[in-house]
Structure 1
Amino acid sequence: MYCTLECIASSFMVLIFLGGSDNVKLDVSTTSDGTNYLIKYGYLVPQDPKTGALRSEESVKQAIREFQQLAGLPVTGDLDPNTKEMMSLPRCGVPDNIGIGRKSKRKKRYALQGSKWAKTDLTYKIAEFSQDLQKGQTELEVDRALKVWSEVTPLRFTRKQIGPVDIEVKFVRRSHGDGNPFDGRGRTLAHAFFPQYGGDAHFDEEEPWTIAVSTGVNLFQVAAHEFGHSLGLAHSDVSTALMAPFYRGFQRSFTLDADDVGAIQELYGPPNNVKPGIRAEPPKPVPTSGDPVISIPAICRDPQFDSITQNADGFTYVFKGDYYYRLNGYGIDTGFPRRITMDWRGVESPIDAALHWDNGYTFLFKGENYWKFYNFRLIYARKISEGFRGVPNNIEAAFVWGGNGKTYFIKGNEYWRYSDNKVDSRYPKPMSVWRGIPNGIDSAFKWKNGRTYFFNGRQYYRFHDSNFRVDDGYPRDVGNWWLGCPSQSQIEHFDSLEKEHGAGIFASHGNIQNEDDVAGEQFLSVGAADTSSADDISLQRTIIARSLLTLVLTVLVNS
């Protein structure tokens, strides 16, 4: 079901993008002239079932012309292959007749629904979170989606934790109390209300929400579109606009179209001189001693870990002992480490290995058992002998090799290749096949750049899939390049300064280098806007490095 008749008739509920990883395309071939689609999305008026009236050919052609105009197609009035293909795309479920058509006398390509907020300072809260995304990740993406609009208007958004708000965001399933139930994975992804009806936005919890990756459903882009409706925008007939009715999938470099900017500024005007953005309620002050505090994570002193993997949310995760860490573009993310048992339900720590498949599933292995997750949602737990036939227990590493897309398992000095639900014949084979990779691998994984990395103690190796050997310039130090740690010599120097001048004399910002410094690596924080240029990142690191140096020198001079 795309949208109920009640939803279409009321026209105040905005139903967004049909599709995702399991897209269900509308079959326009059920009628040769596409009338089912044209009726569904408001281009033709449904016929009275009590009469036997026939439509004129010209009325259908005129409806097709209006659809073609909105979709940015050549306006012919004919149901040609391009028009049929456009009709089959994932799209918003709300009719397109708000602000367009023969009666609208529309002069601009964008459309305004007819209501707006009477104020520019709006509050919002996420009342119910997704189980598949961490709370902080969801807050960040919702903040980013709202900031899309605050950057081009005087609008200001303040996130609240409790109490009444202007816009309430929820992740819900099926029937959820507003008379417009969701229909499960792969169909209607979310819906929102226009300002005069409250502006709330609801997201289908059954969808595979992801962040900054091409798989699944991109939360940021869907949320930005939804909040456009929450602010009073209807659909645009500019195909490149965010408010176009057709879902374009994940876009790594996202910007508002000039049409979107013109629409929202017609409602609220251009931005004031005050810097736009998102405001959170100020946290309660935390008492401090007034002295800068040294903060070198314990893992930096022993950067060997049990496993490293990606997840469906796009982040990279490191497992060590009873804890796990999330990595961003500069090292360990704030709020980490966390206990594995807190978020990875049923898993017994420490783990032996972790594996991520491109379909979004992540597997954690320990002993004879493994756990299958989608993000942090446990799918099931099984014996390795049941789910990975022929793979030994107590494995030490597992990865998908970018060279052929097959899964490999490492134990001791041997490896097994797994495909078609079993270990391939003539395996295991010796690890010496992988030229330049030492024995005793702790972990391995295919990163988001498609390259394969092997970790051995405090060092790691990047493998060249075409030349089938380790890349030049490797091995490298894990702590420096992946965890954002100071070098071992820096840590020793910091320790000596601390002993000489007293504990807690300065804050450590970590080592200012990582895999992004290598051409083509793009080690950026997936939870933040992926729009920084290489020069911007280099400048940020230079600033941090200079700040750290200045702080250390100040301490020494004043001691």
Structure 2
Amino acid sequence: MDVSVLLNWVKVCCLGLMLCLRDSLSMENMEYLRKYGYLAPSDGRSGNLISEEYLKQAVSQFQRIAGLPVTGIMNNETRKIMALPRCGVSDTVGTGNRARRKRYALHGSSWQKRDRIYYRISEYSRKISKDDVQRELQRAFDLWSEVIPLSFVRREYGRADIEIRFVTGNHGDNTPFDGSGQTLAHAYFPQYGGDAHFDEDEKWTVNIADGVNLYQVAAHEFGHSLGLAHSDVRSALMAPFYRGYDQDFKLDRDDILAVQELYGTKTKPDYTSRRYNYWTTHKPSTLKPHKPFVHIPSICRNATIDAITRTDNGITYMFQGEYYYRLDEQGIDTGYPRAIQWDWGSIEGPIDAALTWPNGWTFIFKGSHYWKFHNLQLIYGPKNISEGFDGIPGDIDTAFVWSGNGKTYFVKGNKYWRYHGNRIDYGYPRELKIWRGLPERINAAFQWKNGKTYFFSEDQYYRYNDLIFNIDTGGYPRDTAPWWLGCPDKSQIIALDRQNAMQDKYGVKYDTFSSDRHSRHNDEQWITVDEPSGFHVNNDNSVHSGAVIHSHVQTSLQALCISFFITNSMFLYYPVFTLH
């Protein structure tokens, strides 16, 4: 037989074997192996022929991680494991001399801190309550802090080491979620910031077998945040697959050995990551008190805003300078403010106006340009205002849809334009003074969920009555800060400033605002935005008093009031506790 013929026959046989192996791997299987680090990612610009040995090695590595018999063949058992919900972090394990000798795996980075790690929940799940989210995430952190000399403390404001978000799909980190099932969450190793993201499309649950248990998934992700890679011990928390609700969930010995290799063993009790009331019956020597400090966001002192809008998903956003705030029923939502350019299509603040149409499109205006969004997803932009809103000038002051007729209005200085059907209505612009009761300058305006239009000027706001074409009665204008942002009122801010100054001067040490609070209710108030005094039924049919702002900041202030008694030329400090 001719040698060339023989070589061609061998090539055909090898190619056939390789194709058989590839046929046993579906495109979904191949993509799975690429996504989780078993195959090199495709560069998207060229095709590449994968060898039989490379494919077999990739399948074998996956089977080893999954705790399956290592055959290198894509069998039904392997496919079933691939179909399980799992962590979104890569399983990259290395081969040959790089293969690990220990069962657990370390990424190679860790936190340089050896005392306390701060975290912030900047976007909450809407599937379970905020209190449940805060409690379960703290429990997940505490699971690790029980075996290492690190504690984890949640922060509402100030710098945090780890940011936690519940998001969907593309969320800005080039690692999009895939909807319900498969990838549940992912987290970054310490050298990349340690942030953790949870797929909001999942059915997150607490202490029940149904859905996806938040505590268990969070504990796994926080292992990555600490520097642990995936383990091939099937019983380990750091195994990549979600194994369902476990009532007796705990760290495996493999997990403990791994994290203690990075941080050492715990040498003393941890008092920092759990709830403690510093004025109850704890002995003074047991807990280290901290000087109380009531943080007041800067926007509470200057509530002049640039824009406000309510997007298609029902969330209200307020913009000021380089930052924006998400508002909830109590005021500023947890984790805010955030830089506008982080989440709004890289737009650098300040902006001029924000407008949401009834069809769900949101438009951001700045200078002579505008951007189009659906909720926080950028559709296009920037574009010249003249392209999309012919005849509307640049550098507008505000834009809104008026509840009186459903048409769009643009305001600049002392003039306004009415816009409808992709054109300016005849006879416009007109003088702003036509709108009776409004001030000369409008900073922002929008239509809220009650169907009424609100105008913001300086640090106050007005509610407009469409029937009488004038501002509403009932105490308008009102201060924006306490009514929309949940801030203390001006007199409270003055009192709190005096309190903080007094504490700095005299060293009073009663910790009212422990940094590990599991609820925001202790330092924010319930707000009623649009009703006059007296008892009334709000839009959600809840009954409460509009005559009094139920401020928990005020309650905490009363709890810290210091009575000064001068005796023998010495100050004696008595904390006065007021309970509600």
TM-score normalised by length of structure 2: 0.48
More contact order relative to length (CA 8 Å, sep ≥ 6): 1
TM-score normalised by length of structure 1: 0.50
